Structures are given as C-alpha cells and as structure tokens.
Amino acid sequence: MADQYRRADWLVDRLRDVLTFYYPTGIDEEKGGYIVQLDEETGEIYDAESKHLVATTRYVVNCCLGARFEDQQPWLDAAEHGVEFLREGHYDPETGGYDWLLEGAETVDRKRVCYGHAFVLLAYARAHEAGIDGAREGIEATYDLLMEHFWEPAHHLCQSEFDGDFAEASEYRGQNANMHTCEAMLAAHEATGEARYLDRAREIAHALTVDLAGEHDGRLWEHYTESWDHDMEYNREKPKDLFRPWGYQPGHHIEWAKLLAILDRDAEVEWAIDRAEELFEMAIEHGWDDEFGGFYYTFDRDGQPIVEDKYGWPVAEGIGAAAALSERTGDDAYLDWYDRFWEYAQTHLTAPGGNFYTKLTRANEPIDTDEGPAVEPGYHPIGACFEGLRSL
C-alpha cells in the first residue's frame, strides 16, 4: 500500500485535491486576489475580506506548481490573477515594499516583513518558471529590495521587520524569515540560473545551520537579538505563537533538512548533506510522537515536548525532506520515513475536502483554527507532492 505514495499519478492526484479545494472558491473576482479563509472540512468561506501577503504569494506558488502537472490554463490564469493582485494590491510603489495585510482591497497593516518578502520572491520565481509576463523583473526587484533593506552582510543573514516606510527597524532577528529567504533564493536560482541567488542561499544556510546552530549542539533556535545572539527569553510566555513560538521547532529542523538537500542538489556543498541528515535525525528524535504519530509543535532544551499540538506543515515538510534526502543519499531509510509520513497524513491530517488540517490535538483530533487571517492555502501539502515528484 505504501508504494502508492511514491507513484507520480498518486502524487499528482493529491496535488490536484488540494488545488481544487481552494479553486475556484478562492478566486476573488470582485476585489482581486484570493480568499483563503475556508472551513477546512466544508470549504465554506468564513472571512471573505482578509488578504494576507503570505497567503497571496503561497496561492500563486501553488497554482504555478499545479500548472506543471495538470491542465495548465486554469492554474496559469489563477496564478496571473494573484500576481496582478501582488502588484496592484500589496505593492507600494513609493517604498518598493509589499503590504502585510489587506481587508478587501484596502491596506490595514503596511509593515515590511522579511518573511513576507521572501514569499514574494518565491512567488515571482515560480511565476517566471510558469512563463508569466513580468515575473523575471519581479524576481530582480524583490531581490534588490531584500538586499537593500533586510540583508545584514556582517552576519550573512536578514533582519526581520520594518515599519511601512522602512524608517524604523525591529530589534528582533528570526530564524524563520531567513529559512524562507533561503528557500526563495534557491527557487530564484532554479528559475533564472543566476549564481547570485544560489550564493545567498548558501550564505544563509551556513550562517544558521552551521555557525549559529554550532552554538547550540547543532540545534536551531528561533529567536535572536539585534546582534544575532541567541535570545532565550523571547516569547517564553507565548509557546503557541503561530510565527514566533518559544522553543525548538522540529518542523523547522526537518524543513531545513529538505532545503539543505536541495542546496546539495543545486550546488554540491560539501557540508550541506551532513547537516541535513543531522537535522532530520534531531527532528525525529525530539519531535516525532511515537505513540500517536505526528510532530510536536515545540520541544525544550532537554528534548522534551512543550506544545504537544500537531500541525500539518511539519509532516508535509518531513515528506519533502525524506524524498530529497532519499534522492541525494540513496539511503532507503528515508523512503521508509517518507511512506510513514504519508500514511500519517492520509490517516489523520487529510480533511474531507482533500486539504490538510492546520492543527490537531496530540491524539489527532482536529482543532478549529479560524481565529484570524489564514496564511496556509495548501502550500505545504502541495510542496510535499512537488518534492516527491521531482525527487522520486
């Protein structure tokens, strides 16, 4: 039964299931962009107004990947629709930045967030691969903006956040934004062949997964001070925070394992695959729940779970990491984990509509998550299918 998870036709079917959960309901013909606040079981809209930058860009990525394996035109049209909204809705021509949150077509939060701009770069990279007009220029302009405002060359990393005018910077520095910037740089290199994007991806990956992780027994801490020292107190009182929880995240360890395997594929960096395997093992050792399956959200310095809730995205990243590591190492143990992750996802994470649940209890009961603007329009399960298809 497990062999089906490695078949191209099965992976394309799963990718289609997630795409069609959000389409065409998610296309906002009136105000532009997408509507991604859909009930995870029924697909009904519970918030038609919120337009988050991360959701817009991820929806574009999803459709561009869908166009590789499906009837192209509907997904290309949907991607072009999103790229247009990026330019007309989120983009601020005065600063060159992209607004964080809109209600309908009106900006309600214009802060400049590295995490969001990383996804803008990723969206333009996938759109360029799909042949969407102007996307190559979008890659270049977004890269330039990241380098001008967020890049800190002394640390080989990006700072996290500014106000809307790029006038005042937050003191906070974060792992997560840099992980996704690395992901976007890898995609920009794949889309263009330009070495500068690969060079940046390699710099970020080494700074975080080798240099900074080397100060913490190889583990990846999430939060840092302005001078890139580990900040062990940041959000200690918010262990369930969606973007910045306190503690180690096994999902990010295994997501970095995937990115380092891709870096090894693209650049053959001698340290990347060893670190990828170590991070994969850490995620399994400290994060996988042997009793109920799934990854705990966070664990502490002793390797014990802090938040036992199970999110869908770490399992999806585990699927991608296992596929990529199998391809890079030839070790069948990764295929065993690949099958195991998919089995868990099919049994517990897959909602009736075909999408992944965002969050489950430790015992795998779905948790209602419609508490704010959604940022996860099937991006992680589609990414899992995509990495399976190109690795296996």
Q: Within 10 Å of residue 145's Cβ, how many Cβ atoms?
A: 20
Catalytic residue among 252, 253, 286, 348: 252
Please give the structure tokens belonging to residue 350. Answer: 């897959």
User: Which residues, including other chains, have CB under 8 Å from residue 218's CB and lie 6 or more apart?
Assistant: 275, 278, 279, 282
Which of 94, 95, 99, 16 is closest to 56 using CA atoms? 99
Only one residue has tokens 């779970």, namely 305
Q: Are strands 296-299 and 305-311 parallel, antiparallel or unpaired?
A: antiparallel
User: How far is residue 327's CA from residue 319's CA, in Å, rounded to a whole number?
Assistant: 12
Please state the length of the chain.
392
Question: Could you tell me which residues are beta bridge partners of residue 307?
Answer: 298
User: How far is residue 240's CA from residue 124's CA, in Å, rounded to a whole number?
Assistant: 31
Active site residue 380: yes
Contact criterion met (CB below 8 Å) for 25 and 38: yes
From residue 139, alpha-carbon distances to 6, 8, 177, 197, 265 in Å are: 32, 30, 17, 10, 22
Question: Could you tell me which residues are beta bridge partners of residue 288?
Answer: 295
Q: Is the previous residue joined to 153 through a cis bond, with omega within 30 degrees of 0?
A: no
Please give the structure tokens belonging to residue 129. Answer: 């691969």
Sheet holding 305-311, edge to edge: 296-299, 305-311, 359-360
User: How far is residue 121's CA from residue 189's CA, in Å, rounded to a whole number?
Assistant: 11
Tell me which amino acid residue 310 is. Answer: K
Only one residue has tokens 């060359």, namely 153
Tell me which amino acid residue 349 is. Answer: L
Catalytic residue among 180, 189, 206, 380: 380
Which of 313, 337, 311, 312 is closest to 324 using CA atoms? 337
Contact criterion met (CB below 8 Å) for 35 and 377: no
User: How far is residue 268's CA from residue 289's CA, in Å, rounded to a whole number?
Assistant: 33
Catalytic residues: 252, 380
